[in-house]
């Protein structure tokens, strides 16, 4: 499961690192992004533009948007089979920018869990593989929403948790953002663990346990 992440890069940094991307000026640094909150994402609509989506995918056929709280993650192994995700997987994929994500590590012989912050060794922001959807209510209003795809952990994350978000390598962005319907096997092959040798993890404060705490203190090493 991926239940928290950060996006601390400002718009200018993102534009410099990803010159093909249009980034809104109102994007603010986030240190503790939680489900049901707005998240920045790049949908595969051909515009290469960051937009905002509610984290927790609401299927277009849902009667109640609250179902999104149970749809914050999609498993890579079954994303092309589950009713909530198979249509978005074919047609509505997105990239979700992040600087790092959190997982909770259980301490041996204890019920206590330590929050761990995971980043790339390069320190650069990266993109998580996501899906997006637009839900329309009876009054005509719309809610754009998204989910993060998870996969089996690599060697680093395996010591912390049994799942990790899919981090897409740069060479896969174009295929993932294809507005058409690329070969599903080719797309699914992208959903694999990121190389552990290019990642780092360190313990952080339990401040991150509370979504109300959205400050730089959340990512500071203990």
- Domain harbouring 101, CATH code: 3.90.1680.10
Predicted local confidence at residue 110, as pLDDT: 78
Averaged pLDDT, 137-149: 93
Predicted local confidence at residue 127, as pLDDT: 98
Averaged pLDDT, 60-86: 96
- 93 is in which domain, residue-wise? 5-219
pLDDT above 90 for 54: yes
pLDDT above 80 for 195: yes
- Please report which helix (H) or strand (E) contains residue 203, including its range: strand 199-203
Predicted local confidence at residue 138, as pLDDT: 82
pLDDT tens digits, one per residue of 84-96: 999 999 999 999 9
Q: Which residues are catalytic?
A: 2, 103
What's the CA angle centered on 21, arms 19 and 24, to 5 degrees?
115
What's the CA angle centered on 67, arms 76 and 31, to 5 degrees?
70
Counting beta carbons within 10 angstroms of the beta carbon of residue 99, is it exposed (0 to 12), middle (13 to 18) or buried (19 or more)? buried
Gap between the Cα atoms of 59 and 1, Å rounded? 19
User: What pTM did the predictor assign?
Assistant: 0.97
Averaged pLDDT, 71-77: 98
Domain count, the chain: 1
């Amino acid at each position: 499961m991926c239940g928290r992440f950060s996006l601390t890069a400002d718009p200018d940094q993102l534009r410099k690192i990803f010159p093909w991307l249009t980034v809104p000026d109102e994007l603010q640094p986030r240190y503790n992004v939680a489900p049901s909150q707005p998240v920045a994402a790049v949908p595969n609509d051909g515009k290469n533009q960051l937009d905002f989506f509610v984290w927790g995918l609401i299927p277009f056929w849902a009667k109640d948007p609250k179902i999104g709280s149970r749809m914050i993650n999609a498993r890579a192994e079954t994303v092309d089979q589950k009713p909530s995700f198979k249509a978005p997987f074919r047609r509505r994929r997105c990239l979700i920018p992040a600087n790092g994500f959190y997982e909770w590590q259980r301490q041996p012989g204890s019920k206590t869990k330590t929050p761990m912050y995971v980043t790339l060794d390069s320190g650069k922001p990266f993109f998580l593989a996501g899906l997006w959807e637009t839900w329309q209510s009876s009054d005509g209003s719309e809610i754009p929403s998204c989910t993060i795809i998870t996969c089996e952990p690599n060697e680093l994350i395996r010591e912390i948790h049994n799942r990790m978000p899919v981090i897409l390598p740069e060479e896969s962005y174009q295929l993932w953002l294809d507005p058409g319907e690329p070969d599903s096997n080719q797309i699914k092959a992208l959903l694999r663990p990121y190389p552990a040798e290019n990642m780092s993890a360190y313990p952080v404060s339990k401040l991150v346990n509370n979504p109300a705490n959205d400050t730089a203190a959340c990512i500071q090493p203990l």
